[in-house]
Chains A and B, each alone.
Chain A
Amino acid sequence: MRAKPIENLGFQTLMVIEHFGRIAQFGVRIVACLVTRPYRFRRLMADVFDAGVLSLPVVCLSGAVVGGTLSLLGYTTLVRFGAEEALGTLVGLSVIRELGPVLTALLVTGRAGSAIAAEIATMVTTEQLDGLRMMSIDPIDFVVSPKALALLLVMPLLVGLFIVFSLMGGYGVAVGLLGVDGGSFTSSLKGAVEFWDDVVGSFSKAITFGGLTGLIATYRGYISEPTAAGVSAATTSTVVIASVSILVFDFFLNGFWGV
């Protein structure tokens, strides 16, 4: 009887390890499909549109609001020390190094990642993937790979837009609402941001998060149970697993590589 909890723990651990193995195998299959013919540019463009263009409003609006909020909060702190001219530095570094890639990845996971998981899971339920298999068409090649690559491609672009709108929002609030001098805001921003450390680091994070979200969303959709509950579980767990993974990867990227 005592062995039961230990047995369960061992079983659960093995299950987790097995899942990691399967995800890695799935990722290798996606890469293999992407580098071999036929290249599916039309499907890729459609998926880029769905994941990228349709995410623009939510990313741009969130970026502007986050930038504005940072300005408001930063100003109340900095003004106590007479350092309000450093507001550009605070907004710029916060957004470029951390908030831009992380928040964009979380937003894209919620909007596009969940949509991709739900779409693939629905295709499982309605036997569309089996239909492809019966036509000797590999569903990973035809459906999964373009979607995973689309998320990888759009993430850095959306992060770039998020950062631009954040800086604009931060500048607008700082200069228009709080009366900070526009010149000192931009000069402190320019002086603080390093191209290689901050901008390249930010886009490295974006690419990592894009790949991660694409892999998790497509994998969860692909292995879903062919039921309505299966679609729901795939969507929910994609958001949960991808969001937690983004935060964990962000920690390690910051901690070990100083990105």
Chain B
Amino acid sequence: MSKPTAQEFRIAFDGVDLRRGERCIFDGLSCGFPRGRISVVLGASGAGKSTLIRMIGGLQKPDSGSIRLAGQDITAFSERELFKIRDRIGMLFQGGALLDSMTVAENVALPLCEHTRLSDADIQAEVNRRLVAVGLAETGHLYPRELSGGMSRRAALARAIVMDPEILLVDEPFSGLDPINVRRIEMLLVDLNQHLDLTLIVTSHHMASSLRMADRLIFMVDGIAIAGSPADLLKSEDERIVEFLNAESDRFAERHELDVTPLLRRRGDA
């Protein structure tokens, strides 16, 4: 894969700063997300992955810097202007964000009911198609409180893709899922990207899936982004990347002298 130029980036962050109190989340963050590709954002908990996704959706504004979406700086947009942009964006929240007063089917149908003039039968057919795609064919009549965490997230994914968005923002799609559903969602996301030319931005801790599906990896560390192809990052000698990628290896615990045995001792034991 050749490196994308600035013009090819569908979404580009330029010198974005964000602080929460004393804590610096982004320190001049600059990175890009190419059109029609799968970009996976990696990083430790608290590195700002979800914040980055929320910023692309216009849900959070940076302290300074610009976020360009299709050439337009969305940081200066009003809520009304953002609504127009969001017509082209689907987003899966980490907790699902399904409306708990509505059934799963009503949740998935909501964007269609609000923004299209489809008949009830057509809406029902679209909803069923999306629910089948995420493996929730028989759950349309259930309320979100009746679903497990993983099922909620899959239902939310069905809602995020029901309007055939051009950009799909997916926050931690694999957490809480069993291996079969991890593969199912991974294949669905790759399929959407390939068939609909979807620009996909995924945050994840799931290394295996990330390496399989990503065209581009963005590694968040110390408020900045280190980006490249999976092959580039795997070959990287940057200590922070190497440490993150090797965190699952046996040597990691040895290197960091992690020993939980004292925590497991009973009170009174020597």
Q: Do A and B come from one complex?
A: yes
A131 touches B86 (CB 8 A): no
CA distance A130 to B99 in the complex (A): 11
Looking at the assembled complex, report how far the CB atom of B8 sits from the nearest CB atom of chain A, in whole angstroms: 25
The answer to whether A197 has its CB under 8 Å from any CB of chain B is no
Q: Summarize B's interface: helix, strand, loop or mixed.
A: mixed
The answer to whether A227 has its CB under 8 Å from any CB of chain B is no
B114 touches A127 (CB 8 A): no
CB contacts under 8 Å to B, within A134-191, are 134-138
B97 touches A136 (CB 8 A): no
B57 touches A134 (CB 8 A): yes
CA distance A138 to B82 in the complex (A): 11
CA distance A135 to B161 in the complex (A): 11
Contact of B97 among A38, A126, A137 (CB under 8 A): A126
The answer to whether B125 has its CB under 8 Å from any CB of chain A is no
Task: Identify the closest chain B residue to A134 (Cβ).
Answer: B91
CA distance A123 to B99 in the complex (A): 8
Contact of B99 among A128, A133, A136 (CB under 8 A): A128
A128 touches B97 (CB 8 A): yes
The answer to whether B244 has its CB under 8 Å from any CB of chain A is no
CB contacts under 8 Å to B, within A95-137, are 123, 126-128, 130-137
Task: Identify the closest chain A residue to B99 (Cβ).
Answer: A128
CA distance A134 to B97 in the complex (A): 11
CA distance A256 to B91 in the complex (A): 53
Given contacts A130-B59, A133-B59, contact A138 B83 (CB under 8 A): yes
CA distance A123 to B97 in the complex (A): 8
Task: Identify the closest chain A residue to B101 (Cβ).
Answer: A46
Task: Identify the closest chain A residue to B115 (Cβ).
Answer: A136
The answer to whether B146 has its CB under 8 Å from any CB of chain A is no
The answer to whether B98 has its CB under 8 Å from any CB of chain A is yes
Task: Identify the closest chain A residue to B111 (Cβ).
Answer: A135
Contact of A127 among B86, B87, B97 (CB under 8 A): B97
The answer to whether B89 has its CB under 8 Å from any CB of chain A is yes
Task: Identify the closest chain B residue to A125 (Cβ).
Answer: B95
Q: Which residues of A contact B110 (CB under 8 A)?
A: 135, 137
CA distance A123 to B59 in the complex (A): 15
Cβ-Cβ contact count across A and B, 8 Å cutoff:
56
Interface size (A, Cβ < 8 Å)? 15
Looking at the assembled complex, report how far the CB atom of B81 sits from the nearest CB atom of chain A, in whole angstroms: 11
A126 touches B95 (CB 8 A): yes
The answer to whether B63 has its CB under 8 Å from any CB of chain A is no
B97 touches A131 (CB 8 A): yes
A136 touches B100 (CB 8 A): no
B95 touches A136 (CB 8 A): no
Q: Which residues of A contact B13 (CB under 8 A)?
A: none
Looking at the assembled complex, report how far the CB atom of B97 sits from the nearest CB atom of chain A, in whole angstroms: 3
The answer to whether B93 has its CB under 8 Å from any CB of chain A is yes
Contact of A136 among B83, B93, B94, B98 (CB under 8 A): B83
CB contacts under 8 Å to A, within B99-143, are 99-101, 110-111, 114-115
CA distance A123 to B96 in the complex (A): 12
CB contacts under 8 Å to A, within B71-97, are 79, 82-84, 86-87, 89-91, 93-95, 97
Task: Identify the closest chain A residue to B94 (Cβ).
Answer: A127
Q: Which residues of B contact A136 (CB under 8 A)?
A: 83-84, 86-87, 111, 114-115
Q: Which residues of B contact A46 (CB under 8 A)?
A: 101
A130 touches B97 (CB 8 A): yes
Q: Which residues of B contact A130 (CB under 8 A)?
A: 54, 59, 93, 97
Q: Which residues of A contact B79 (CB under 8 A)?
A: 133, 138
CA distance A164 to B242 in the complex (A): 76
Task: Identify the closest chain A residue to B85 (Cβ).
Answer: A136
CA distance A46 to B102 in the complex (A): 12
Task: Identify the closest chain B residue to A141 (Cβ).
Answer: B114
Looking at the assembled complex, report how far the CB atom of A32 sits from the nearest CB atom of chain B, in whole angstroms: 12
**4 pairs of A and B residues whose beta carbons are closest in the complex:** A131-B97, A127-B97, A136-B83, A134-B91
What are 9 A-to-B residue pairs whose CB atoms are below 8 Å? A126-B95, A130-B93, A131-B97, A133-B59, A134-B59, A134-B90, A135-B110, A135-B111, A136-B114
Question: Interface on B for A, CB 8 Å cutoff?
Answer: 54, 57, 59, 79, 82-84, 86-87, 89-91, 93-95, 97-101, 110-111, 114-115, 156, 159, 163
Known pairs A126-B95, A130-B59 / 4 extra A-B pairs, C-beta < 8 Å: A128-B97, A136-B84, A136-B111, A138-B83
